[in-house]
A = this chain, B = another copy of it.
Amino acid sequence: MSGKHLVIVGGGVIGLSAAWRLAAAGHAVKLVDPTPGRGASWVAGGMLAPVSEAWPGEETALHLGEESLRRWPAFAEALTAEGGSPDLSTAGTLLVAFDRGDADQVDVVAEYLAKVGREAERLTSRQVRAAESGLGAVRGGLLVPGDLGVDNRKLLRALRLAASRRGVEFIEDNVTAVEPGRVRTASGELDCDVVVLAAGARSGGLHPKLAGAVRPLKGEILRLRARRSSLPPPRRTVRAVVEGRPIYLVPRVDGELVLGATQYEAGFDETVGARGVRELLEGAERVFPSVGEYELAETAAGLRAASVDTVPFIGELEPGIFAATGHHRNGLLMAPVTADAIVALLAGEEPPPGVAAAHPERLEH
């Protein structure tokens, strides 16, 4: 095949994954981002868990997530072969319930999982405590062994490395406008055959078809570290709902524990809020009381690229401009299927199953 000249707008997990796979497919790729490898992907837990992240009514996103989850092991393997590892974890997810309401919610997830043929095991209070020591007074739980996880920051570093090795040129600049075959930046312009718009929460301001369709959805996370005197983190990702607020605790191989995530409509504000931090800590202490003894190493906020119908936008916006954005809470999960889709679409081939439903044209109907 003859390679095209491409410009990727955005260096989060979607832009980096697309850049890497497109360069590997023989295209000449430039990636523009003022701070590649940062953005919302940097501020994330790293769960690859389509079902336990899905909300009722989000079946389209769920199917796309499941499709991407299946692609993750090969994606991680290919990435590791390029020299960097995302620390793919297969320890699975443990959903825990503290009261009757939580237990009902766990039942809904269990039904979902059964429907899509995914393995899951209901656990009694005693079984939960046997599976993970140190948890609070749980009523019961659900073990989801097929969920994966990555260290999002190692993933971003590995993607940058892999993209660089495949010849992707990084341009650290702000994009001010996107046109067919042309990207304008703060310091000049770049001509190309095709633009891939992967600018996350800022995509809505860069193409009229995405205006109002993609918006920022702020999220805060905390990174904690176990002390020598405290219990080590749980072995699996633990999820719960505390006082109506969903919370997750994601362990890292090095003893770090990521707590997430708040969710607010706050425009492009990326500051960390006092209440969000208090609520995350309060929730985490309820789930896993030893967290109180941990070091609070970092507080951070990011802007998810929320989609108006929770489904991402993957496909041609107009000749010469493709969208790969609007991944909502699922950017890390959906990176492999999105990168594969863009590679296929540029080659005029059939994209992976589920991608058609993510075409930006759906907004016009």
Name A's B-contacting residues (CB within 8 A). 222, 224-225, 227, 271-275, 277-278, 281-282, 284-285, 291-297, 299
- Asked if B292 contacts A278 (CB within 8 A), the reply is yes
- Chain B contacts of A272 at CB under 8 A? 295-297
A293-B273 contact given A282-B282, A299-B299, CB 8 Å threshold: yes
Quick one: which of B271, B275, B281 contacts A274, CB cutoff 8 A?
Answer: B281
Residue on B nearest A295 in the bound complex, by CB: B271
Please name 8 pairs of A and B residues whose Cβ atoms are closer than 8 Å in the assembled complex, sorted by A: A227-B271, A272-B295, A273-B294, A274-B295, A278-B285, A278-B292, A282-B282, A299-B299
- Asked if A273 contacts B296 (CB within 8 A), the reply is yes
- Chain B contacts of A297 at CB under 8 A? 271-272
**In the bound complex, how far is the Cα of B272 from the Cα of A278, in angstroms?**
14
- Asked if A293 contacts B271 (CB within 8 A), the reply is no
- Asked if B274 contacts A278 (CB within 8 A), the reply is no
- Chain B contacts of A292 at CB under 8 A? 273-275, 278
Residue on B nearest A220 in the bound complex, by CB: B296
- Chain B contacts of A277 at CB under 8 A? 277-278, 281, 296
- Chain B contacts of A284 at CB under 8 A? 274
**In the bound complex, how far is the Cα of B281 from the Cα of A307, in angstroms?**
32
Quick one: which of B227, B273, B293, B294 contacts A295, CB cutoff 8 A?
Answer: B273
Q: Least Cβ distance of A215 to chain B in Å?
A: 18
- Chain B contacts of A271 at CB under 8 A? 225, 227, 295-297
Seed contacts A273-B292, A274-B295, A275-B281; 20 additional CB < 8 Å A-B pairs? A227-B271, A271-B295, A271-B296, A272-B296, A272-B297, A274-B281, A274-B284, A274-B291, A274-B293, A274-B294, A274-B296, A275-B292, A275-B293, A277-B277, A277-B278, A278-B281, A278-B282, A278-B292, A296-B299, A299-B299
